[in-house]
Amino acid sequence: MDRELLKGSTPILLLSLLTEGPMYGYQIIETVLQRTGGSYTLKEGALYPALHKLEAAEFISSYWQTQANGRDRRYYSILPAGTAFLAAKKKEWSLFVNMVEAFVTPNGSSGTKG
Amino acid sequence: MDRELLKGSTPILLLSLLTEGPMYGYQIIETVLQRTGGSYTLKEGALYPALHKLEAAEFISSYWQTQANGRDRRYYSILPAGTAFLAAKKKEWSLFVNMVEAFVTPNGSSGTKG
DNA sequence: CAGTTTACCTCGCAAAGTGATGGGTGCAAG
DNA sequence: CTTGCACCCATCACTTTGCGAGGTAAACTG
């Protein structure tokens, strides 16, 4: 997967994931890895800064939770502002996709065969 | 349009445009501007370095052409290697889009309403 | 006790886009 | 002839983002 293509899509991914419920960092990485069948390993160096930025913007909030075994995990959950931001991002996303596809397939031919 | 989303999509855009025929820099900017209805202004600082990189990789080639009025224009045209590269990029692109959409719409709902 | 897994995080680097800036030509207005 | 604009090329410093590597620490495994 082209890393340059990924740039900018991380917030959408994160916010989308969090609409399914609170998650912690390590879990997010594992989830992305599993759902993409191993083709996309979200890196810690990309995840944590992105999470912190989202939290600083008050799109998500975090809380520490201690498990039965004593380990602490930092859970992130989406805030109303994050949901609104995600909705805006989704629109931007489809605009972006439509734009690129318009150039890639100017005549409208469905050339996306895998 | 989110500029971070655009990162990495420029080569696909450029190569796709050039499959329609040779074009020069200024023309590319104007074309993108018109086709997107003014929503995406491809910047010179993004275009020229991208074009030069593509040429260095021998995906495209350029030639200067003098117009009737004496002005010179640098035309770029796609090479066979560029066509092949574009095909690979297209696959990556659809993989990428499918991946993001899988997270954005996990249940498969077509929620991309304007 | 040592190694692996879980779980958090930061830092230096590379790649790409933005805004600013600059060079030069042709043409119309004053 | 000078000013200004449209055309046309291009580079540079800065910012953002992801990557790879490194660091800390606790619990489980052998």
Would you place residue B1 in the very low, low, confident or very high pLDDT band (cuts 50, 70, 90)? confident
Q: Could you tell me which residues of chain A have a Cβ less than 8 Å from any Cβ in chain B?
A: 1-9, 12-13, 16-17, 20, 32, 35-36, 39-40, 89-97, 99-100, 102-104, 106, 111-112, 114
Cα–Cα distance between B28 and A68 in angstroms, integer? 60
- Residue B67 predicted with pLDDT over 60: yes
- Residue A112 predicted with pLDDT over 70: no
Q: Could you tell me which residues of chain B have a Cβ less than 8 Å from any Cβ in chain A?
A: 1-9, 12-13, 16-17, 20, 32, 35-36, 39-40, 89-97, 99-100, 102-104, 106, 111-112, 114
Predicted local distance difference test score (pLDDT) of residue B105: 86
Cα–Cα distance between B34 and B40 in angstroms, integer? 9
pTM, full prediction: 0.89
Predicted local distance difference test score (pLDDT) of residue A2: 79
DSSP output for A20-64: T--EEHHHHHHHHHHHTTTS----HHHHHHHHHHHHHTTSEEEEE
Which residues neighbour B62 within 8 Å (Cβ) at sequence distance 6 or greater?
B51, B55, B74, B75, B76, B77
| CB of B91 lies under 7 Å from some atom of strand C | no
- Residue A1 predicted with pLDDT over 50: yes
Predicted local distance difference test score (pLDDT) of residue A114: 42
Predicted local distance difference test score (pLDDT) of residue A70: 85
Contact criterion met (CB below 8 Å) for A17 and A56: no
Contact criterion met (CB below 8 Å) for B16 and B89: no
**Residues from chain B contacting residue A91 (CB–CB below 8 Å):** 114
- Residue B10 predicted with pLDDT over 70: yes
- Residue A113 predicted with pLDDT over 50: no
pLDDT digits (tens, 9 = 90+) for A40-86: 999 999 999 999 999 999 999 999 999 988 889 999 999 999 999 99
Asked if the Cβ–Cβ distance from A5 to B35 is below 8 Å, we say no
Predicted local distance difference test score (pLDDT) of residue B113: 45
In this prediction, residues B76-95 reach a mean pLDDT of 96
> Amino acid letter at B68?
A
In this prediction, residues B66-95 reach a mean pLDDT of 94
Percent of chain B with pLDDT over 70: 94
pLDDT digits (tens, 9 = 90+) for B103-114: 998 776 554 444
Which residues neighbour A40 within 8 Å (Cβ) at sequence distance 6 or greater?
A1, A6, A32, A33, B99
Contact criterion met (CB below 8 Å) for B113 and A87: no
Predicted local distance difference test score (pLDDT) of residue A109: 60
| CB of A43 lies under 7 Å from some atom of strand D | yes
pLDDT digits (tens, 9 = 90+) for B15-27: 999 999 999 999 9
Asked if the Cβ–Cβ distance from B96 to A1 is below 8 Å, we say yes
In this prediction, residues A90-108 reach a mean pLDDT of 89
